[in-house]
Amino acid sequence: MLSTPVHDHAEWFQSWRMKGLTKGRRSHNYTYVHKHALAMDPSLTVQQLNRKSIQYRKTVLSIIRHGGAEHTGGSLSSIDILNTLYNRILRLSPATFQGANRDRFVQSKGHSVEALYTVLADRGFFPQSELETLNRFGSHFIGHPTRHVNGVEQNTGALGHGMSFAVGSALAAKLDRKDFRVFALLGDGELAEGSNWEAAMTAGHYRLDNLVVIVDRNGLQITGPTEEVVQLEPLHLKFEAFGFAVCECDGNSIPELLANLESVPFAAGQPSLLLAKTRKGCGVSFMENSVRWHHRVPSDQEFEQAIQELEKAEALLI
């Protein structure tokens, strides 16, 4: 671990100014993704993607522990979705990120930013070493996505805004006769925000078949099960009523995610909605399906146990 305490802001900021954001920092083994994939690689196999998911999970836990805060459960639930999108689906790379015809990805559940940062680093949007500045005073890597970080399409974190932004972008593509697609990732608890339904109604009205909304359906909110906080079911019928073509899959299964996301739009002339059934905290036994891990930081012992479990899972990959 780094020697600088998380809250020693003044000292750290001074050294950051002196050395540049990351140059000269002590190197240590807190990230587990060893190679940057600079362009989307359609030849990546399911097995390679499965391995990436495990490596991503280890990195997510490491940067959360090092940063001393953030959202553990929701980052782990959505990592397979981000892995599939960024490595196989999105027509997007660091080289094309400013291009008008790039696919757009909006992470509306902005609190799961550690998952997004981890995947963006692996895809080469910024050096892996910058992840270690998470939550440090003066760093752009704060607890919710901002456009100061290369690769982030939209500032998010106040829940309920991402789908509206995505609908606007998809509508702009139609008006400008461009063929990019817009993907948005939402939390299921986030759907309690009424603004989502206004956006959904608009997407249906304009028949935005270049829009793909993915709901990370892990069943948990910040304080408990979604069905107890604000009932969502029957969710697929609600989206269908708003004009979406709806599919469901295991959102922690790379093959199922690939099969669905490679077949968008699910129906011509309709926006697509993928209900990705995930496990909050996926990959670590004692974090799975536990509301306690919404934004808990692992202790040293919990961290070691989690890494051991993930390494065991990695060793079992053929």
Ligand X SMILES: Cc1ncc(C[n+]2csc(CCOP(=O)(O)OP(=O)(O)O)c2C)c(N)n1
The amino acid occupying position 96 is T
Which of 72/93 has CB closer to ligand X?
72
Q: Please report how close the Cβ of residue 218 comes to ligand X at its closest, in angstroms.
A: 5
Chain positions 212 to 241 lying near Mg ion, rule: CB under 5 A, are 218, 220
280 is a site residue for ligand X (CB under 6 A): yes
**118 vs 131: CA distance, rounded Å:** 7
Site stretch for Mg ion (CB under 5 A), options 27-35, 95-103, 187-195, 239-247: 187-195
**What's the per-residue H, E or C state across 12-41?**
HHHHHHHHCCCCCCCCCCCCCCCCCCCCCC
**What residues are paired with 250 via a beta bridge?**
277
Our finding on whether 188 is near Mg ion (CB under 5 A) is yes
Query: 211-217 and 104-107 as β-strands: parallel, antiparallel, unpaired?
Result: unpaired
Q: How far is it, in rounded angstroms, from Cα 15 to Cα 34?
A: 26
ω before 265 within 30° of 0 (cis)? yes
Contact between 296 and 37 under an 8 Å Cβ cutoff? The reply is no
Q: Is 189 in the site for ligand X (CB under 6 A)?
A: yes
187 forms part of the interface with Mg ion (CB under 5 A): yes
Identify whether the C-beta of residue 163 lies closer than 8 Å to the C-beta of residue 196.
yes
**How far, in Å, CA of 82 to CA of 285, rounded?**
21
- The piece of 61-69, 151-159, 198-206, 309-317 that touches ligand X (CB under 6 A) is 151-159
Residue 256 found at the interface with Mg ion (CB under 5 A): no
160 touches, from ligand X, Mg ion, none (C-beta below 5 to 8 Å by class): ligand X
Residue closer to ligand X, measured from CB, 101 or 223: 223
Query: What are the structure tokens assigned to 32, written together?
Result: 């587990």
157 is a contact residue toward ligand X (CB under 6 A): yes
Asked if 222 is part of the footprint of ligand X (rule: CB under 6 A), the reply reads yes
Q: Where are the beta strands (DSSP E) in 182-308?
A: 182-187, 211-217, 245-250, 272-277
Asked if residue 125 lies in contact with residue 89, where contact means CB atoms within 8 angstroms, the answer is: no
Shortest Å distance, C-beta 79 to ligand X: 11
**DSSP symbol at 101:** T
Closest CA to 187 of 294, 85, 55, 297: 294
**Residue 114 in contact with ligand X, rule: CB under 6 A:** no
- Partner whose footprint covers residue 161, from ligand X, Mg ion, none (CB < 5 to 8 Å by kind): none
Restricting to residues 56-75, which ones interact with ligand X according to CB under 6 A? 71, 73-74
CB of 121 to ligand X, least distance (A): 21
- Applying CB under 6 A, the span of 38-46, 109-117, 299-307, 309-317 interacting with ligand X comes to 109-117
Q: How far is the CB of 162 from ligand X (least distance, A)?
A: 11
Of residues 95 and 230, the one with the C-beta less far from Mg ion = 230
Estimate the share of the chain in helix, then strand, then coil, as percent rounded to the nearest 5.
Answer: 45, 10, 45
Footprint of Mg ion (CB under 5 A):
187-189, 218, 220
Footprint of ligand X (CB under 6 A):
71, 73-74, 77, 109, 111-112, 157-160, 187-190, 216, 218, 220-222, 280
